[in-house]
Amino acid sequence: METFWSLAGMAGAAFVAATLLPAQSEAVYLGILAARTADPLALFVVASLANTAGSVVNWWLGRLIARHGVEKLPQRLRPDPLRFRQAQGWFSRFGWPSLLFAWLPLAGDPLTFVAGTLNFPLGRFILLVLAGKAGRYAMLWAGWTALT
């Protein structure tokens, strides 16, 4: 049962951290690795998939904005204008490879939102974002393994 709750907690933290809401999942990931309450491979898979799913929510919100305008979103879900402009600049300058950096703090979440506003294809979006986010969790796992 402890494994279930560890993985559920990781899924929740990773999902929320990927949305436009302010949150981080790295501490939860490393905490569960340190506590050894879940298989590291299962933890890696759950964290990567849940974090990607949160980014899909951002993409979907971006699609809504593209169709109906930002006014249709609740105030707490509206992107920060400065971060949104920065993310638009990244996406305009670097195109689809920028989605590999969707895991970056502060810039990554608005970047996934921008991809939705630009109607970036969902299938490619998921593959690129998953690759970047899984890479981040893999580096955390490797670092933790090296230190223990």
Could you report the per-residue pLDDT of 68-126, keeping only the tens digit for each? 877 777 787 777 778 777 877 878 888 889 999 999 887 888 889 889 988 899 999 99
Could you report the per-residue pLDDT of 25-81, keeping only the tens digit for each? 999 999 999 999 999 999 999 999 999 999 999 999 899 888 887 777 778 777 777
Residue 55 is predicted with a pLDDT of: 97
Q: Based on the number of CB atoms within 10 Å of its own CB, is 57 exposed (0-12), middle (13-18) or buried (19 or more)?
A: buried
Amino acid present at 33 = L
Residue 81 is predicted with a pLDDT of: 78
Stated pTM of the model: 0.88
Residue 107 is predicted with a pLDDT of: 81
Amino acid present at 136 = R
